[in-house]
């Protein structure tokens, strides 16, 4: 992997990730295909919607189809017929968010499979091995994702994440796969700073910012970004994990974030939550019943060019999958397009104005995220 940042506008960066399976222009939004498929969106639709890299979850793929099948198929690209780059999340977040009876020690974490109750051990080395088998273009290290807690516990956890990061680097063998470290540090400036300094001292290809956008208010998220980003090396990509809200995305891009992902835009589409240039709407609302206009009057995606709010309202209300397909496509398009426009604004050195204009049209109330 090579990363080039070609233009700046303040701290905002326009760049490109040059990967074996394609070049990814940054800043970029990555749709999430947890089980090796973006829900309600085939590969061709994802690409048509503008995505140039997708995310899959090592944790889920490890459980099903499992490493044996992935090995048999030669990795996720051949298995899922994905011809664009794939980033795999390490599973850290899932282990900590999905498992009820998790046992963590300095060596790693035990979790129970939701399928058969079997106990599996995830260590930094194992998680590297899993992602090497999956064959993603970018792998993430195992980190400890704590729920917000006190300073003492945060420090302890941060130290563990650092040690795990070192072990991951030592275990990583595939030269055709980039490996990203993950900075943690909870919601304290001190630990965020320390974690960033520690993790970025290691020879990773890029850096994730983890443990944010997990329920805290946006001012806290931004405060943490303001601590972390200035400490990150200029020459490597920065990936803010789990963020897909337009407001927070633009705040992050302004501060120098290059990559983001989030399951929310596709998940909320399936329930009628639509991102538009005038703010988020729920297409299930009765006011859209007779609405002949497109989901977003400013959007030129195929769905907005072909279909009315009234029709999509009808489909989503009837729980019709085709309505979910149309809404999913639009939401992915909206965010990939937002990143493309952000890039253009950075290149034109007018990102701040662009951001203000987008956000004022979206009528964000009190800077609330999605």
Binding site for a second copy (CB under 8 A): 35-44, 64-65, 69, 72-73, 79-81, 289-290, 292, 302, 306-308, 310-311, 314-315, 317-318, 320-326
The tokens for 165 are: 């990061």
Q: Determine how many CB atoms are found less than 10 A away from the CB of residue 132.
A: 20
Supply the minimum distance, in Å, between the C-beta of residue 275 and a second copy: 19
| Catalytic, out of 9, 245, 258, 261 | 261
Supply the minimum distance, in Å, between the C-beta of residue 314 and a second copy: 5
Whether 219 is catalytic: no
Scanning the structure block, which residue is given the tokens 């993950």? 182
Task: Note whether 11 and 255 are within 8 A (CB).
Answer: yes
Sort 310 into a burial class: Cβ within 10 Å, 0-12 / 13-18 / 19+: middle
For a second copy, which is the closer residue by CB, 34 or 166? 34
SS3 of 112, please? strand
Q: Which residues neighbour 234 within 8 Å (Cβ) at sequence distance 6 or greater?
A: 5
Q: What's the rounded Cα separation, in Å, for the pair 243 and 249?
A: 7
Supply the minimum distance, in Å, between the C-beta of residue 81 and a second copy: 5
Scanning the structure block, which residue is given the tokens 């793929």? 61
For a second copy, which is the closer residue by CB, 4 or 289? 289
Residue 110 is given by DSSP the state E
For a second copy, which is the closer residue by CB, 71 or 103? 71
Q: What's the rounded Cα separation, in Å, for the pair 77 and 137?
A: 10
Q: What's the rounded Cα separation, in Å, for the pair 120 and 286?
A: 47
For a second copy, which is the closer residue by CB, 38 or 257? 38
Q: What's the rounded Cα separation, in Å, for the pair 227 and 363?
A: 27
Q: How many CA atoms lie within 13 A of 223 on its CB side?
A: 12
For a second copy, which is the closer residue by CB, 1 or 49? 49
Supply the minimum distance, in Å, between the C-beta of residue 278 and a second copy: 22
For a second copy, which is the closer residue by CB, 311 or 364? 311
Strand partners, 356: none
Whether 143 is catalytic: no
Supply the minimum distance, in Å, between the C-beta of residue 32 and a second copy: 12
| Catalytic, out of 89, 143, 205, 245 | 89
Q: Which residues neighbour 283 within 8 Å (Cβ) at sequence distance 6 or greater?
A: 272, 273, 274, 295, 309, 312, 313, 316, 327
Catalytic residues: 89, 261
């Amino acid at each position: 992997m090579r990363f080039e940042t070609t233009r700046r506008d303040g701290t905002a960066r326009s760049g490109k990730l040059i990967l074996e399976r394609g070049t990814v222009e940054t800043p970029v939004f990555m749709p999430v295909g947890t089980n090796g498929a973006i829900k309600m969106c085939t590969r061709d639709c994802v690409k048509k919607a503008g995505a140039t890299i997708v995310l899959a979850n090592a944790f889920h793929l490890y459980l099903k189809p499992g490493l044996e099948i992935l090995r048999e198929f030669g990795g996720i690209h051949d298995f899922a017929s994905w011809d664009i780059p794939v980033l795999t999340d390490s599973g850290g977040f899932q282990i900590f968010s999905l498992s009820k009876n998790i046992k963590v020690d300095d060596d790693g974490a035990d979790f129970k499979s939701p399928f058969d109750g079997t106990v599996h051990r995830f260590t930094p080395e194992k998680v590297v091995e899993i992602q090497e088998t999956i064959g993603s273009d970018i792998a993430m290290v195992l980190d400890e994702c704590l729920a917000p807690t006190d300073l003492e516990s945060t420090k302890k956890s941060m130290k563990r994440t650092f040690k795990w990061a070192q072990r991951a680097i030592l275990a990583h063998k595939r030269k055709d796969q980039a490996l990203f470290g993950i900075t943690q540090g909870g919601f304290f400036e001190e630990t965020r700073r320390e974690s960033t300094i520690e993790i970025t001292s290691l020879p990773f290809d890029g850096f994730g910012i983890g443990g944010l956008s997990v329920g805290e208010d946006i001012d806290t998220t931004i405060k943490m970004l303001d601590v972390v980003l200035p400490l990150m090396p200029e020459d490597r990509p920065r990936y803010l994990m789990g963020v897909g809200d337009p407001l927070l995305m633009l705040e992050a891009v302004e501060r120098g974030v290059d990559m983001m992902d989030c399951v929310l835009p596709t998940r909320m589409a399936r329930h009628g939550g639509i991102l538009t240039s005038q703010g988020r709407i729920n297409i299930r609302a009765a006011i859209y019943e007779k609405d002949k206009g497109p989901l977003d009057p400013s959007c030129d995606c195929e769905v907005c060019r072909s279909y009315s709010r009234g029709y999509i309202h009808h489909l989503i209300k009837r729980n019709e999958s085709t309505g979910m397909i149309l809404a999913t496509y639009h939401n992915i398009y909206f965010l990939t397009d937002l990143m493309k426009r952000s890039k253009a604004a950075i290149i034109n050195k007018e990102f701040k104005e662009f951001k203000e204009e987008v956000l004022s049209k979206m009528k964000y109330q009190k800077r609330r995220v999605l």
